Amino acid sequence: MGYSKKKILIYFISWLSLMLCGCLMFYVLTERSKNNFYQQGVRAVQEIAGKNLPSLVNFIIQGNFNPPLNITADTFSENLKFVAVIENNGTGNNNILAHTDPKFVRWPFTPPLKKPKHIDTIDDVVIEKEDSPYNERLISFSAYISANGTNIGRAYLVVYSYPLDGSLSRLRWIFASGYLLITIMLLIIYLMNSKGIIRELPNDYPPRKLGPSIVGIKLHEGGMAGIFMAVNEKNGRTVIVKILLPHLAKGHHIDLFKQEAKLAEDLQGLPNIIQLEDYYEKDNAIVMEYIRGKDLSEIMDKVKIIPTDQAVFIISQCCIGLHYAHSKGIVHRDIKPSNIMIRFTGEVKIGDFGIAKKMFKSDGTIVEGIKGTLPYIAPEQLKQIKEEPVDARADLYSLGIVFYEMLNGEKVRNFDGVGTYTAIQSILETEIRPLKDLKKDIPAELNDIVMKCVEMKREARYQSAEELREALSVLERKLGLSCDGPYLSAFMEEHFDERQKRQMRNDG
């Protein structure tokens, strides 16, 4: 994605504006620093002039200093270089009457300054800044000592300018670093945007309204679509809206999104599957029913181990949904806990058929890339053999992994910090450890069902969701297990907070 001249101009103007604002701020801060420093010197030299006026008057009238001259200046402490009081006798031979450095006894007072580059006057105090012959950076402050309009002497104060220079130097470094950082950030944003990493969302994303549904808050954004909550203004029902991200609204992604909508339409009215409410092709939006409840991943995070009767009931309900999907020729390909929703009323629903596809015989077309979530994916989904396309048994393998984790309370496969290649090799080569090795108290019949689901070779698994459900029904009768929707609803009420319990009662 390139940049138009207009966008480049906007970036340049933004950068230039920031630079100008920075320069203005730098000027203001440096002027404030200089002014503060100069004001200290002005106050100090005026203080020296004021407290030595009586002494100079007595010296002229009586020929002696009474009180003695006072040339102390504490304002600059260690930065002070030289303080002096000079007699202004009108003859041109001004005498240094008192000073702080005994090495200098003759006029002009020392340290002498070169012709100053910078002269300021503040409140009749002359400020001169220049390097001394001794490679010292100095600033001198001088003020007349006057009586009855006559200049009878002068007060001098010379200080090192290092504190001021240091302050200005720090400001220069701070602002130069800021300029550099801003420039680098704008350059990074420019490059990221040019490669499509940063996306500009159009003003109409998300659309405020889709048919009767008013789009509300965003719940989640995945790699392909944003998920929003919405309310049908006709009946007041809450729905979920899935909207394709604007930068993907073209080519292959549009086709995938249309395929998902078509598959959802094919699954319309089937039990235990989250239902399609509407599809808006122009807006690339799918409206789905809203499930008041929790996904199985959230439930397992809180409960850890799901009781056997609850786990068998949940898997049985998933088998019903998968049986109907498979009968329509649709393979989910991404069965995992977060795609299994449990209503607070105890109803189980399978969602997110986003990467589902129709089962087909190989026709020599190019095989698609890997689809699914690695910890739950079936080995044949990784092999991508054109002569053996993925079928319903892949979903039963993934469902078996979920079943295993519900009963054991731990992940079957944990690929955190593991590279994709290593993870794939592990799935293809490593047999899953029997559940009974980890849970000694699990009934052998239940262990056998779980382990048959996760056989490496799909020929050894249950061949259909209905076959697995029948096996679970036999197990329920043999072990005397008893669970249904109300029983699962009570389980949900037991483990979730009061607000969710109220939602459950409202749904009931």
Number of Cβ within a 10 Å radius of residue 298: 15
Please give the share of the chain, as a percent, with pLDDT higher than 70: 82
Same domain, 319 and 267: no
On the question of pLDDT at 144 being above 80, the answer is: yes
Name residues whose C-beta falls within 8 Å of residue 325's C-beta, 6 or more positions apart in sequence: 267, 270, 273, 331, 332, 350, 353, 356
Cα–Cα distances (Å) from 424 to 377, 385, 490, in that order, read 10, 15, 40
Q: Domain check: are 221 and 155 in the same one?
A: no
Least confident of 3-7, 187-191, 341-345: 3-7
- Going by pLDDT thresholds of 50, 70 and 90, the confidence category of residue 11 is confident
Q: Is residue 190 part of a domain?
A: no
Strand partners, 139: 129, 159
pTM above 0.85, yes or no: no
| CA atoms within a 13 Å half-sphere pointing along the CA-CB vector of 499 | 1
Do 393 and 319 share a structural domain? Answer: yes
Residue-range definition of the domain harbouring residue 55:
5-167
The 10s digit of each residue's pLDDT in 336-358 is 999 999 999 999 999 887 655 55
CA distance 272 to 321: 5
Mean pLDDT, residues 377-386: 78
Give tens-digit pLDDT for 207-244: 888 889 999 888 888 778 889 999 998 888 999 999 98
Residue type, 383: K
Domain boundary, last residue among 114, 134, 167: 167
Residue 202's pLDDT band, with cuts at 50, 70 and 90, is low
Residue 353 sits in the same domain as residue 434: yes
In a domain, 374, yes or no: yes
Q: Which of 283, 334, 352, 391 is catalytic?
A: 334
Check if the beta carbon of residue 380 is closer than 8 Å to that of residue 454.
no
CATH number for the domain spanning 137: value is: 3.30.450
406 shares its domain with 480: yes
Question: Lowest mean pLDDT: which of 97-101, 193-197, 211-215, 232-236?
Answer: 193-197
| Residues 116 and 128: beta-carbon distance below 8 Å | yes
Based on the residue annotation, tell me whether 352 is a catalytic residue of this protein: no
156 lies in some domain: yes
| Mean pLDDT, residues 75-86 | 76
Three-state DSSP at 153 gives: strand
Residue 253 has pLDDT above 90, yes or no: no
Dihedral of the alpha carbons of 221, 226, 230, 232, in degrees to the nearest 10:
-150
Which residue, of 141, 167, 193, is where some domain finishes? 167
Q: pLDDT tens-digit profile of 455-506?
A: 999 999 999 999 999 999 999 999 999 888 899 999 998 888 655 555 545 5
Residue 281 and residue 316 share a domain: no
| CATH value at residue 274 | 3.30.200.20
Same domain, 124 and 231: no
Whether 398 is in a domain gets the answer yes
pLDDT tens string 31-47: 888 888 888 888 888 88
Average pLDDT score over the chain: 82
Does 276 lie in the same domain as 239? yes
CA distance 484 to 313: 7
Per-residue DSSP letter, 273: B
Domain count of the fold of the chain = 3
Q: Using an 8 Å Cβ cutoff, are 362 and 356 in contact?
A: no
* Angstrom distance (rounded) from CA 31 to CA 172: 13
**Burial call 163-201: b when 16+ CB within 10 Å, e when fewer:** ebeebbeeeeeebeeebeeeeeeeeeebeebeeeeeeee
User: What is the per-residue pLDDT across 395-418, written as a single tens digit (0 to 9) for each?
Assistant: 999 999 999 999 999 999 988 888
The verdict on residue 201 lying in a domain is: no
* C-beta separation of 389 from 359 below 8 A: yes
Environment class of residue 463 by beta-carbon count within 10 Å: exposed (0-12), middle (13-18) or buried (19+)?
middle
pLDDT of residue 106: 47
414 and 493 share one domain: yes
Highest mean pLDDT of the ranges 77-86, 98-107, 275-284:
275-284
| Residue 367 confidence class, pLDDT cut points 50, 70, 90 | very low
Other CB atoms within a 10 A radius of the CB of residue 11 amount to 16
Q: Are residues 325 and 453 in the same domain?
A: yes
pLDDT value, residue 506: 53
Handedness of CA 472, 477, 478, 483 (dihedral sign): positive
For residues 294-319, give the mean pLDDT.
Answer: 94
Residue/partner pairs of 254-261 with CB below 8 Å, 24 or more apart: 254/284, 256/224, 257/224, 257/225, 257/284, 257/286, 259/357, 260/286, 260/353, 260/354, 260/356, 261/286
Residue 187 resides in a domain: no
Q: Which of 167, 197, 226 is the last residue of a domain?
A: 167
Q: What pLDDT score does 363 carry? A: 33
Q: Quick check: 151 pLDDT over 90?
A: no
Q: Are residues 154 and 17 part of one domain?
A: yes
Same domain as 312, residue 245: no
> Which residues lie across from 142 on neighbouring strands?
126, 156
